[in-house]
Structure 1
């Protein structure tokens, strides 16, 4: 998944980015609202982590404008304010969840997973397709009951496909989902990861099909 973190504390931002990277997520960091708006204008994010007190404005104005534009990207607010009225106000503005600082990273990861499941309409963690089962919470893939080990980037690529079976993803779209602005991959990297993922899916009822001139899609074989 690709996240946007809007946070002016470099120390906290570095810690959050490092923790989410370990979980395989791509994270872009904006230290102010101006940078954040530049990012959301050019990139589709799966989740936004939003601080309230920023050097060039209030994060609540970002949240309000984001929702008024009918943007559906879920937002978790990071706030130092613990008063009930503040939390209620954030939810009323359109926040999907909030966390009070100081942040517990295990809780942050759990809240991210919960928000993303709600966004996808998943009541359970397990996604099944043919003889393939994917536990989005544990990040485990099983084929015919046998666990298949996926490396981090392979796991995140598979997550993109399994959440939208039949949808065609171009190479550029997959680059956008798997790599941050700090990285500079070529589209050939996507071919490598797709090739690896195809080998992992051998023996399943599911395959990644190349759609000439358009990209790739996941479908039952």
Structure 2
């Protein structure tokens, strides 16, 4: 059943290494996805415009146009879930990728089953967001922070703030219980659909990015436990 459902989902693989590109194509195809491929930045943008993929698996180091710029342009044109592939393990580099609009990342070398799991997780999140929008969930207000779940828009002190899809979902998860500490595993499960050791870095990176946009004081860290959304005073 899962492969039948996935067959209608298109994954665009953007990777300049022919061996890795082919391996990703073969594994994702075997898992039931329709897979398109690109080996450089400009071709990736052309493919995305033509195919309108459901998920993009995007390497950062690309010829013609680097992955960060591809990510920015994709999200500016038509937001799409992006799984970033990177050989860089420095947290600053990862944060730059997330700030450009990537939803999640996998560091090289990676296991194919991990890539597949992350792709499916991103698709589940998109499906949940669509269901939420259809339900016309009312506006959430936490102090001077307004979260419109149906329109997927937020305002902070009457100013519109742009969040990536995952940053928005993370904020919603925190705003559901303002002032209450949400455990790390609970947040990972609700927002990403999974929780593991790798996920803690993903969560921390997105919290940092969220703080940079809505104000550091709004998200409180409880070390060893999780995070809480504070009511601005």
Please give the range of the TM-score, normalised by the shorter of the 2 chains: 0.5 to 0.7
Q: Secondary structure at the match of 1:64?
A: helix
2:95 aligned partner: 88
For structure 1, the residue ranges without an aligned partner over 5 or more in a row are 123-221
Which residue in the other structure is 1:10 paired with? 18
Shift of 1:33: 1.3
Report the counterpart of residue 37 of structure 2 in structure 1.
29
Query: Deviation at 1:15?
Result: 0.6
Distance 1:62 1:78 in 2: 13
- What's the offset of the Cα at 1:72? 2.1
**What is the TM-score when the length of structure 2 is the normalising length?**
0.50
* Counterpart residue number, 2:208: none
Shift of 1:115: 0.8
Superposed displacement of residue 65, structure 1: 1.4
Tell me the CA shift for residue 87 of structure 1. 1.1
On the 8 A contact 2:15/2:59 being kept in 1, the answer is: yes
Aligned position for 1:202: none
Deviations 1:75-109 (A, max 9, x none): 00101001111111111111110110011111111
Match of 1:50 in 2: 58
**2:75 is aligned with 1:67:** yes
Give 1 or 2: higher helix fraction.
2
**1:114 and 1:80 mapped to 2: Cα distance?**
22
Partner of 2:210: none
Unaligned runs of 5+ in 2: 1-8, 130-233
Q: Distance in 2 between matches of 1:80 and 1:89?
A: 14
Runs of 4+ in 1 over 6 A off after TM superposition: none
Which residue is equivalent to 1:105? Answer: 112
- How many residues matched? 123
- Cα deviation for residue 57 of structure 1 reads 2.3
Q: Helix, strand or coil: the match of 1:114?
A: helix
Cα RMSD of the aligned pairs, angstroms, is 1.8
- 1:133 equivalent in structure 2: none
* SS of structure 2 residue aligned to 1:17: helix
**3-state SS in 2 of match to 1:98:** strand
1:171-197: per-residue Cα shift (whole Å, max 9, x none)? Answer: xxxxxxxxxxxxxxxxxxxxxxxxxxx
- Greater relative contact order (CA < 8 Å, ≥ 6 in sequence): 1
The secondary structure found in structure 1 opposite 2:35 is strand
Deviations 1:130-162 (A, max 9, x none): xxxxxxxxxxxxxxxxxxxxxxxxxxxxxxxxx
Q: Report how far residue 56 of structure 1 moved.
A: 1.1
